[in-house]
Amino acid sequence: MEEDRLAEIIGKNLTRLRKMANLTQMELAEKLQYSDKSISKWEQGNGIPDVRILLRLADLFHVTVDDLVREQRAEVIPKPARGLRRLIITFCSVGLCWLVAVVSFVLMGLFAPEGTASWLAFVYAVPVSAVVVLVFSCIWRWKFVRILSLSLLIWTALACVFLTAFVIAGEVGNLWLIFLIGLPLQGLALFFFVWWKRAHFFRT
């Protein structure tokens, strides 16, 4: 009975810590190089991870092994607003991109020759912002945001090339054909994310 109680406590703590880290059972299993079935079994209290796995879990969640094996009172352990912090960090990073764009626009307006297309600073801020969001979405495993930011990057980068060429050349002509490049790139991006998801699904 003592062992059953310990397995139940570890299961509850593991479930709580995993959800606080915004990880699925499959994602946690990948980090531990175990199957998601093992994670599910532990969380249900149907088994106890060995000491080596407990140490890796403690290191992964930045807690002690004691935090994993002892019953925790919910009111003593406040749930961190990790998702909100990540959104704030991402928002501030994107905001920094637009601050640079505003500063560039002002400086070009003050010191660049008359007729300079200083408004392009705001155009280039869009794909740069998409890169920032893409990086954070990869770090924090925001799958849907990841594909959206990559799609935004593809099309806005092409738009930047189009508008820059238009400003330099002064005419459009067949320049719109450059957007056809975005079609295979978009298709490859979608294929990659679908393939990646399936590859991870069948890995265990």
CATH number of the domain at 36, please. 1.10.260.40
Residues 86 and 187 placed together within one structural domain of the fold: yes
Residues 104 and 190 placed together within one structural domain of the fold: yes
Q: Contact, 63 vs 18, CB < 8 A?
A: no
Nearest alpha-carbon partner for 153 in 181, 182, 130? 130
CA 166 remoteness from chain centre = 34
pLDDT more than 90, % of the chain: 34
CB atoms inside a 10 Å sphere around CB 116: 12
Residue 170 domain-assigned (yes or no): yes
Residue-wise pLDDT for 7-47, tens only, equals 889 999 999 988 888 889 899 988 888 888 889 999 998 88
Residues 112 and 170 placed together within one structural domain of the fold: yes
Residues 95 and 130 placed together within one structural domain of the fold: yes
Residues 113 and 185 placed together within one structural domain of the fold: yes
Residue 72 pLDDT greater than 80, yes or no: no
How far apart (Å, rounded) are the C-alpha atoms in residues 61 and 127? 34
Residue 186 domain-assigned (yes or no): yes
Q: Contact, 145 vs 94, CB < 8 A?
A: no
Helix axes 51-61, 25-32, angle to 10 degrees: 110
Residue 126 domain-assigned (yes or no): yes
The residue range of the domain holding 42 is 2-69
State the pLDDT at residue 88: 92
Residues 117 and 148 placed together within one structural domain of the fold: yes
Say whether 135 sits in a helix, a strand or coil: helix
Residue 75 domain-assigned (yes or no): no
Residue 93 domain-assigned (yes or no): yes
Average pLDDT, the chain: 85
Residue 131 domain-assigned (yes or no): yes
Residue 76 domain-assigned (yes or no): no
Q: What is the mean pLDDT of residues 183-191?
A: 89
State the pLDDT at residue 82: 65
Residues 48 and 114 placed together within one structural domain of the fold: no
Identity of the residue numbered 59 = D
From residue 177, alpha-carbon distances to 16, 38, 158 in Å are 52, 52, 10
State the pLDDT at residue 114: 80
State the pLDDT at residue 101: 95
State the pLDDT at residue 73: 61
State the pLDDT at residue 80: 53
Say whether 182 sits in a helix, a strand or coil: helix
How far apart (Å, rounded) are the C-alpha atoms in residues 41 and 11? 8
Residues 34 and 87 placed together within one structural domain of the fold: no
Residue 76 pLDDT greater than 50, yes or no: no
Residue 53 domain-assigned (yes or no): yes
Residues 102 and 173 placed together within one structural domain of the fold: yes
Residues 65 and 117 placed together within one structural domain of the fold: no
Q: Contact, 145 vs 133, CB < 8 A?
A: yes
The count of structural domains within the chain is: 2
Strand ranges, E, within 83-204: none
Residues 117 and 175 placed together within one structural domain of the fold: yes
Residue-wise pLDDT for 109-122, tens only, equals 888 888 788 999 99
